[in-house]
Every structure is written in structure tokens, then in C-alpha cells.
Amino acid sequence: MCGMSRLEDIVSLCKRRGFIFPGSDIYGGMSGTWDYGPLGVMLKKKIMDQWWRYWVEDRDDMYGVDAAVIMNPRTWVASGHAATFSDPLVECKECHQRFRADKIADVSENVSPDEFRAAHVKCPNCGKENWDDVKQFNMMFVTHVGSVSDDSSVAYLRPETAQGIFTNYKNVVDTIYPDLPFGLAQQGKAFRNEISPRDFVFRSREFEQMEIEYFVNPAEWEKNFESLLRDCHDFLENKMGLSAEMIHDLEVAPEDRAHYSKRTVDIEFDYPIGREELMGLAYRTDFDLMNIARESGKSMEYRDKMTNEAFVPHVIEPSFGVERLIMAVLVSAYSEDEVNGEKRIALKLPENLAPYRFCVSPLLKNKPELVAKAREVYDMLRDKYGNVTWDDSGNIGKRYRKQDEIGTPKCVVIDFDSLENGTVTVRDRDTMAQVRVKIEDL
């Protein structure tokens, strides 16, 4: 039943095996936050490293930046976040639970109080229909910088990584003057005070983004948009191992697009919670650079090296959420089958994403000669591949089940034949087939 997993199964596996825990779990949790355990950190890092390699290291037209999380508050005035980065908040007068109005009723993000009342929505918590007025709730976290907490010291935790790229566009052009088109990529934390975080790591208050702002000649935006869309699918399917049948392009209608976008494609995925947005590709025109030019008083023009023409580039933005991608990878990989009358859970992760590539085991842990040989093989594989684990607990069948569950593609077992002829048993996670392989051929 690969790809047909329930959300509860994924959440249970993640906690049981040390992938993802509720944030501040020992103190009763912190809504909308999640902590990554030993295996989760490795999976997350591999996903982010694969993204960086695909989009930056393996291309000649991409460069990296890493901007500060707390930025000059004028950033958020220029971008429009200070005025418009809000969700419609509504409170039930009976049970005092708060909800996003557009998530519990068929209404837009800009719903008026009268429109919401006309929808006759019952409270998902208590079932009553007694609502306070809809209010727009700004989702940026406010903080204070410096020793005085007053209006002059107000700053924000960034709600997206994109603005850190835009504010560094001129720095990059002035220092390395890349050929157009070129992209600037950034990975990092973003923070949104979500009204109702939900669905495991899908919607949380602290998360990581991997974003690219791709600067193009306005006359060539369409061909660059199509090229980036193809690359997004290639990355998701061939680097992340997501099934093409579970990925869908949604051409966002003009009335549903962000106000700065002239074209947006949401790439959606079949999650256990339904078909939801995995990532987005947006043509932002010159909206951001022109806003910065107005707010800063500095020119954002780019002078073409060949034609000497000066213009403000337009921007296409592929935006990935790390947590949503992790969730999609786990959903795609999760599988259940039956072995000898018992349920087997296997996480069929692509080899490039699996936390451990190999698990090395001595057949028996009370035989020093087997343990010594197994350590030798373990050290060799770890030097060669890095991500290798050791397991000598329980019987060999239990070890296989544990490694299947955490996604280890291959188990290497050292037995008495290994001492005689230098071969080991290699057992495959997906097929459960076992073959003898010479140690030097591993």
C-alpha cells in the first residue's frame, strides 16, 4: 500500500523511530512547532543538500546567499507584509476557539463579516453558530531589537526567505555581475504566527524554506518559467523519488493569485490529508525590486552586457517548503506488506535520501571473531559512504524489521562464511532478497 498511508501511521513512525517529535514535548508541547530527532535530522539534511546540489552546484546560472533572519523593518514595509500579510481570523463566542475563516467556510481570504455570517458556518469545535466579527490577523512574529522595548525597536522574525534574496540582489550584481538570466538561492528558517497550525508538519509556525529568485529579461519570462517548471518536476520525481502520479500542476486563477503575481502554478501532492500545495512557482514581475527601489531610493536596474540596455529584471520564484517536502517523501516511501503472517512496515526511501545507506551486523554478537570482522566491514563502509549504522541487538529478523522501518536500503551481515571466504550476505530492503557479495565489492 505504498503511497496510501494514513497520517497517523506517518506520525507514529516518526515519533517511534526518532524522525520527528512534537516541539517541547517534555513540557506538554508547543503548538505549531516540531523537533527533529537523529534520523529526522539526517533525512532533512539530505533533502536540503540534494536541493542545493541540484539547483545551485550543478548549474552555472545559480548563486547562493544567506541573509539574516531579523532584517530592517523597512524590508517588510516595502514588501507589503507589514500592511497585508494577514489571514482572516474568526472566534466562536460559545467555546472561544479561533479559526481561519477561509479554512472552515467556502469564502476567500478577504471575506467580510457579512459574507462570513451569510455562509452559516457551524463551529468545528462546539457545533454552534455564534461568531465574532472576522478580523485580519497579521502573521508576522514581532520582536524588539536593542535594550529598549518601544515602537522604535520593533522588528520581525522573517515570514519568508525571499525578501533576504531581493535585498541582496544589488549586492550580488555589484560584486559578481552575473549574466542574465541568473538565480539567487537561499535555504533557511521562516516564522509565521499561524492561527491554526495543523496536519503534522504541513502547517507550522516555524519552518524552513528553500527559495530561488530567478532574474530574467522581461521579454523572456515565459520560456524561463516553462524551463523552471520542468526542472521542478525533474527534481521532485528524480531526486526526491516522488511518484509522478501523486504530483499535479494547478494553474492558479487570476483572482486567487497573490497580488504581485502575473502567473502562478501550484505544484500539489496527494497527501493523506488530501491534495494540497507542495510548492509554488510564481512570476512576480518587477514587483519586489521596484518596491525596494522606492523604499531605499536606490536603482535596481541591470545593464545588459551585450546590448548595454538598462532595465529592472523580472523575477520567477520557485519556492519549496522543507517540511512539506519531507512529508511528501515520507508519504511516498511508506509501505506496509505481510511477511510470514506479520505486518511489515518499510520506508522505501530513495538511496540518496535514506538516513543510513547500510546497516552492518555480526550474525551473533557473542562471537568475538564475527564482531571483529563486522567492525572491519563497518569501518570500511563508513569511510567510503559515511552514513552507515551498526546493529547487533535482537535476532537478525528483528534487525531487518527495524532497518526496513527507518528506510535503510541494504543490510550487510557477517557470518562464519565471511571468515572463510571473505563474502557477506547483503539483504535488500524492498525485495527482501539476499545475495552473497565479496567484501571488496561492497
The per-residue pLDDT for range 193-223, each reduced to its tens digit, is: 888 788 999 999 999 999 999 999 999 999 9
Question: Residue 148 domain-assigned?
Answer: no
Q: What is the DSSP letter of 70?
A: B
H-helix or E-strand spanning residue 439: none
Residue 140 confidence (pLDDT): 86
Could you give the CA distance from residue 36 to residue 29 in angstroms, rounded to a whole number? 14
Question: Residue 218 domain-assigned?
Answer: yes
Q: C-alpha 54: how far from its chain's center?
A: 15
Whether residue 411 sits in one domain with residue 288: no
Cell of 79: 514588501
What interhelical angle do 322-333 and 7-16 show, nearest 10? 100
Whether residue 106 sits in one domain with residue 47: no
Whether residue 195 sits in one domain with residue 306: yes
Mean pLDDT of the chain: 92
Alpha helices in 148-303 (DSSP H): 162-166, 169-176, 221-234, 287-296
Secondary structure of residue 229 in the 3-state scheme: helix
The per-residue pLDDT for range 370-399, each reduced to its tens digit, is: 999 999 999 999 999 999 999 999 899 999
Secondary structure of residue 237 in the 3-state scheme: helix
Q: What is the DSSP string of 92-108?
A: BTTT--EEEHHHHSS--
Residue 4 confidence (pLDDT): 52
Q: List the single range of 75-79, 276-280, 292-296 with lowest mean pLDDT.
A: 75-79
> Is the Cβ–Cβ distance between 359 and 399 less than 8 Å?
yes
Question: Residue 143 domain-assigned?
Answer: no
Query: For residue 9, which of 339, 416, 333, 380 has the smallest C-alpha distance?
Result: 333
Torsion angle of C-alpha atoms 373, 377, 379, 384, degrees rounded to 10 = 170
Other residues' Cβ atoms within 10 Å of the Cβ of residue 347:
26
Q: How confident is the model at residue 80 (pLDDT cuts 50, 70, 90)?
A: confident
> Is the Cβ–Cβ distance between 319 and 103 less than 8 Å?
no
Question: Residue 417 domain-assigned?
Answer: yes
**How confident is the model over 268-277, as a mean pLDDT?**
95
Whether residue 96 sits in one domain with residue 51: no
Whether residue 372 sits in one domain with residue 406: yes
Cell of 326: 519531507
Q: How confident is the model at residue 138 (pLDDT cuts 50, 70, 90)?
A: confident
Could you give the CA distance from residue 85 to residue 67 in angstroms, rounded to a whole number? 20
Cell of 333: 516511501
**How confident is the model over 346-355, as a mean pLDDT?**
96
The β-bridge partners of 182 are 215
Question: Residue 343 domain-assigned?
Answer: no
Burial class (CB in 10 A: 0-12, 13-18, 19+), 233: middle
Whether residue 323 sits in one domain with residue 222: yes
Whether residue 377 sits in one domain with residue 325: no
Placement of cell 506496509 in the chain: 336
Characterize the bridge pairing of strands 182-191 and 62-64. parallel
Question: Residue 344 domain-assigned?
Answer: no
H-helix or E-strand spanning residue 83: helix 81-84
Whether residue 243 sits in one domain with residue 101: no
Residue 3 confidence (pLDDT): 40
The per-residue pLDDT for range 20-68, each reduced to its tens digit, is: 999 999 999 898 999 999 999 999 999 999 999 999 999 999 999 999 9
What CATH number should be reported for the domain holding residue 361? 3.40.50.800
Whether residue 384 sits in one domain with residue 276: no
176 pLDDT more than 50? yes
End-to-end Cα, the chain, rounded Å: 31
Q: Quote the number of domains for the chain.
A: 3
Secondary structure of residue 20 in the 3-state scheme: strand
Within the chain, how many helices (H) and strands (E) appear?
14, 23
Other residues' Cβ atoms within 10 Å of the Cβ of residue 411:
26
Q: What is the DSSP letter of 204?
A: -
Whether residue 106 sits in one domain with residue 36: no
Q: Which string of b and e fits 163-201 if b means at least 16 CB within 10 Å?
A: bbbbbbbbebbeeeebebbbbbbbbbebbbbbbbbebbb
Characterize the bridge pairing of strands 342-347 and 358-362. unpaired
Whether residue 104 sits in one domain with residue 19: no
Q: Which residue has the higher pLDDT, 3 or 351?
A: 351
> Is the Cβ–Cβ distance between 272 and 331 less than 8 Å?
yes
269 pLDDT more than 80? yes
Cell of 303: 545593464
What CATH number should be reported for the domain holding residue 33? 3.30.930.10
Whether residue 199 sits in one domain with residue 129: no
Question: Residue 338 domain-assigned?
Answer: no
Residue 185 confidence (pLDDT): 98
| Residue 92 domain boundaries | 86-138
Question: Residue 157 domain-assigned?
Answer: no
Q: 3-state SS of the chain: helix, strand, coil percent to 5?
A: 35, 30, 35
Domain boundary at 138, 154, 182, which?
A: 138
Could you give the CA distance from residue 337 to residue 316 in angstroms, rounded to a whole number? 43
2 pLDDT more than 60? no
The whole model's pTM is what? 0.89
